[in-house]
Chains A and B, each alone.
Chain A
Amino acid sequence: MWDYSEKVMDHYKNPRNVGEIENADAIGEAGSLSCGDMLKLYLKVNDKGIITDAKFQTFGCGSAVASSSILTEMVIGKHIDEARKITNKEIVDALGGLPPEKMHCSVMGHEALEAAIANYYNEEITFNKSEDIVCNCFNISKTFLENEIRNNNLKTLEDVINYTKAGGACGRCQGKIKDILNNINSETKKPQQLTKTQMIIKINNIIEQYIAPELRKDGGDVELIDVQDNKVMVKLSGRCHACNRSQLTLTHFVEATLKQHIDENIEIVQV
Chain B
Amino acid sequence: MINTKLIYLDNNATTKVDEKVLEVMMPYFTQYYGNPSSIYEFGGKNSKAIKEAREQIKEFFGANSAKEIFFTASGSESANMAIRGILTSDKSRNHLITTKVEHPCVLNLHKQLEKEGYRISYIGVNSAGELNLDELYNAIDEKTALVSCMYANNETGTINPVEEIADKVKSIDSKIKVFVDAVQAAGKIKLDVKNTQIDMMGVSGHKFHAPKGIGALYVKSSVLITPLIIGGHQENGKRAGTENVPFIIGMAKAAELAQSSLNYESTEVKRLRDKLENGLLSKIYNARLNSCAHKRVPNTTNIGFEFVEGELILLNMNDYGICASSGSACTSGSLDPSHVLKAMGVPFTALHGSIRFSLSRFTTEEEIDYTLEKMPLIMEKLTKISPFQKELKELKARKGII
Contacts and interface: CB of A to CB of B under 8 A. Distances in A.
B312 A62 contact: yes
B384 interface: yes
Contact of B312 (A34, A65, A169): A65
B311 A59 contact: no
Contacts of B312: 12, 60-62, 64-65
Contact of B389 (A12, A57, A58, A165): A57
A40 B319 CA distance: 26
B36 to A, nearest CB: 38
**Size bracket of the A interface:** 20 to 34
A148 to B, nearest CB: 15
A36 B387 contact: no
A59 B386 contact: yes
Given A18-B384, A168-B335, A169-B335, A36 B309 contact: yes
**Size bracket of the B interface:** 20 to 34
Nearest to B336: A169
Contacts of A165: 335
B246 interface: no
Main secondary structure of the interface of B (DSSP, over half): loop
B388 interface: yes
Interface string A8-41: 0000110100111000000001000110111110
Interface in A56-74: 57-62, 64-65
A101 interface: yes
A43 interface: no
B171 interface: no
Interface string A98-139: 000100000000000000000000000000000000000110
A58 B335 contact: no
Nearest to B333: A101
Contacts of B386: 57-59
A178 B249 CA distance: 51
Interface in B147-164: none
B309 A61 contact: yes
A168 B309 contact: no
Contacts of A271: none
B335 A59 contact: no
Interface of A: 12-13, 15, 18-20, 29, 33-34, 36-40, 57-62, 64-65, 101, 137-138, 161, 165, 168-170
20 contacts: A12-B312, A12-B315, A33-B307, A33-B348, A33-B349, A33-B352, A33-B388, A36-B328, A36-B335, A37-B330, A40-B387, A58-B387, A59-B387, A59-B388, A60-B330, A61-B315, A62-B312, A64-B309, A161-B335, A168-B334
